[in-house]
Amino acid sequence: MTIQETQDEIINDFSLLDGDMEMTVFYIMELGQKLPAMPEADKTEENVVKGCQSKVWLTAKMQDDKLYFTADSNTAITKGLVSLLIRIFNEQTPDAILHADLFFMHKIGMERFIGTQRSNGFAAMIKQMKLYALAFKTKMEVKS
């Protein structure tokens, strides 16, 4: 599935919530609960995403030229939010991630249910994921 297709799927999922704030928050937390567990050993200071009010750990690995992220957070809602990004970016190439336009955020009305603080944190997560993509892309180019 492409980044665009996954986003369309997310937009469709959220539309079923009909704008109900409580349902939306529960749904986001549920998504977080489904996120595969991150090994405790990866929850290091080094893997903490800077700029988030909550604590978010993020790591990435490359397999067959595609990126795979794992993450965790000390707050359930943030974990749910990062799970959305993982769903969009996993199994994508560094180039696709670097050029991704994340239109789903606006379409699902994210600004309605995350405040200014969390918006900044969310932007920091995206930035960190793109930085991973850039790092792996550079590594690939050096190899070839």
Partner 1 sequence: MVSSSTLAKALDVEKIRREFPIFDQQVNGRDLVYFDNAATSQKPNVVINALIDYYKGYNANIHRGIHTLAEKATKAYEATRHTAQKFIGAKSEQEIIFTRGVTESINLVASAYGRAFIKEGDEIIISGLEHHSNIVPWQFVCEEKKAKLNVIPVSDQGELDIEAFKKLLSSKTKIVSVNHASNSLGTINPVKEIIRLAHEVGAVVLIDGAQAGAHLEIDVQELNCDFYCLSAHKMYGPTGTGLLYGKKELLEKMPPYQGGGEMISNVTFEKTTYNDLPYKFEAGTPNIGDVIAFKYAMDFIQELGKKNIAAHEHELLVYATEKVSALKSVKLIGTAKDKVGVLSFAVEGIHHFDIGQMLDARGIAVRTGHHCTQPLMEQYCIEGTVRASFAVYNTKKEIDQLVEGLDRVINFMK
List, by residue number, the catalytic residues: 52
What is the pattern of x (binds partner 1, CB under 8 A) and - over residues 94-133? -------------------x--------------------
Q: Please, which residue, 4 or 54, has the CB nearer to partner 1?
A: 54
CA separation (Å) from 51 to 55, 57, 60, 109, 117? Answer: 9, 12, 18, 22, 9
Which residues lie below 8 Å from residue 54, measured CB to CB, with a gap of 6+?
73, 74, 75, 78, 121
| Per-residue interface string for the shown chain with partner 1, residues 37-66, x marking contact by CB under 8 A | ----------------xx------------
**Whole-number minimum distance, CB 99 to partner 1, in Å?**
32
User: How many residues make contact with partner 1 (CB under 8 A)?
Assistant: 15
